[in-house]
């Protein structure tokens, strides 16, 4: 049993995000979640795309891979499939995951690889001076835009649901304790978990600030919302669950819910592979045996 302290998950390098950036809270929550789950740093990998959020692996003392813009999900999924014993967390911003990476976001939902994807949503491309991101609403104008946004916003929760993600949650970057619990649940979920994090960018987004969010956020689970979708529901029961999910996922304005929206059971991609590739490793064999495997069955 590893005897590690929270600080053991922190890298020596200090974050260089802007003062007050929501990324600090997400980093702390992820660090604490890995500690509380007693994750072995030598068997944990955090992957990132490109953007301010993509620096996250630099600040954690676990394995980290800083990949390409929009490509974090295929790379993270590939690593998990090749090494199923790893704990894999992918992180990226809304521009990274829902702009250039939107195709991968949808394709990942069809597979249900056992890992967690955390989307840092600040509605802007912070690393490149605050252009409108895919989650900024139509007609909204941040201080970094010369004109109001002429495009509509993507709803990440509804898109994840349509794509087939089996666990869908939303947290808030300044609620580190609540976010930590959501990250833990997402990591423990068997299948692909999607965690949407509302992440204020005080440098470029002066619309959706922590002062704007504070009076609006409420916890779904404190209002009795049950996200669990057991197998074997009747079509009518499933319709009811889906309708409730969609209503809550679409709620945005005077009230904004956070918490777990959807928790369903379905075979993981690893299990599906095992069904028709008998030699696919459920547990990755010792290094050196990899080459001996014939993944064609
Ligand atoms: Fe954070 Fe925005 Fe600064 Fe990027 S630009 S580090 S998202 S505050």
pLDDT mean for each 10 residues of the chain (297 residues): 87 95 98 97 97 97 97 97 94 97 98 98 96 98 97 98 98 98 98 98 97 98 95 94 98 97 95 83 47 43
Query: Residue 1's pLDDT is what?
Result: 59
Mutate to test the pocket of ligand 1, among 19, 20, 23 (most ligand atoms within 8 A of CB): 23
Query: Residue 3's pLDDT is what?
Result: 87
Cα angle: 192, vertex 81, 293; to 5 degrees: 155
Q: Is the CB of 204 under 6 A from ligand 1?
A: yes
Query: Residue 135's pLDDT is what?
Result: 98
Query: Residue 290's pLDDT is what?
Result: 44
Mutate to test the pocket of ligand 1, among 122, 130, 174, 197 (most ligand atoms within 8 A of CB): 122
Q: Is the CB of 124 under 6 A from ligand 1?
A: no
What's the gap between Cα 30 and its chain centre?
A: 11
Cα dist. 12→8, 15, 95, 179 in Å? Answer: 10, 10, 28, 23
Cα angle: 122, vertex 127, 130; to 5 degrees: 60
| Rounded distance between C-alpha atoms, residue 204 and residue 278, angstroms | 51
Helix (H) or strand (E) run with residue 55 in it: none
Taking only Cα atoms into account, the Rg of the chain, rounded to an integer number of angstroms, comes to 19
Assigned fold of 15-266: Rossmann fold (3.40.50)
Per-domain residue ranges of the chain:
15-266
Under DSSP, the state recorded for 97 is I
Cα dist. 118→219, 221, 276, 284, 290 in Å? Answer: 19, 20, 30, 25, 30
Structure tokens at 292: 């001996």
70: left (phi over 0), alpha (psi -120 to 50) or beta: left
Query: Residue 286's pLDDT is what?
Result: 41
**Closest approach atom of ligand 1 to CA 23:** 1
Distance between Cα 96 and ligand 1 center (Å): 14
Mutate to test the pocket of ligand 1, among 119, 173, 204 (most ligand atoms within 8 A of CB): 204
Query: Residue 284's pLDDT is what?
Result: 44
């Amino acid at each position: 049993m590893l005897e590690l302290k929270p600080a053991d998950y922190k890298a020596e390098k200090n974050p260089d995000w802007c003062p007050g950036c929501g990324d600090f809270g997400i980093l702390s929550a992820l660090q604490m979640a890995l500690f509380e789950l007693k994750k072995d740093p030598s068997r944990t990998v955090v992957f990132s795309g490109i953007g301010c959020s993509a620096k996250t692996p630099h600040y954690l003392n676990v394995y980290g891979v800083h990949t390409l813009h929009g490509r974090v999900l295929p790379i993270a999924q590939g690593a998990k499939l090749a090494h199923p014993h790893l704990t894999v967390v992918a992180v990226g911003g809304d521009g990274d995951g829902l702009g250039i990476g939107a195709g991968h976001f949808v394709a990942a939902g069809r597979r249900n690889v056992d890992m967690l994807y955390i989307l840092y949503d600040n509605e802007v491309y912070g690393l490149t001076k605050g252009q409108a991101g895919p989650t900024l609403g139509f007609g909204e104008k941040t201080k970094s835009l010369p004109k109001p946004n002429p495009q509509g916003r993507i709803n990440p929760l509804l898109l994840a649901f349509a794509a087939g993600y089996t666990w869908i949650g939303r947290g808030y970057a300044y609620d580190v304790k609540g976010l930590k619990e959501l990250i833990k649940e997402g990591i423990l979920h068997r299948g692909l978990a999607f965690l949407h994090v509302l992440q204020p960018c005080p440098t470029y987004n002066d619309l959706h600030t922590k002062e704007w969010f504070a009076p609006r956020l409420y916890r779904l689970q404190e209002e009795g919302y049950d996200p669990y979708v057991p197998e074997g529901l009747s079509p009518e029961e499933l319709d009811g669950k889906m309708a409730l999910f969609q209503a809550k996922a679409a709620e945005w304005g005077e009230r904004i819910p956070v918490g777990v929206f959807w928790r369903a059971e379905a075979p993981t991609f690893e299990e599906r592979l095992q069904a028709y590739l008998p030699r696919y490793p459920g547990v990755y064999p010792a290094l050196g045996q990899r080459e001996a495997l014939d993944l064609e069955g």
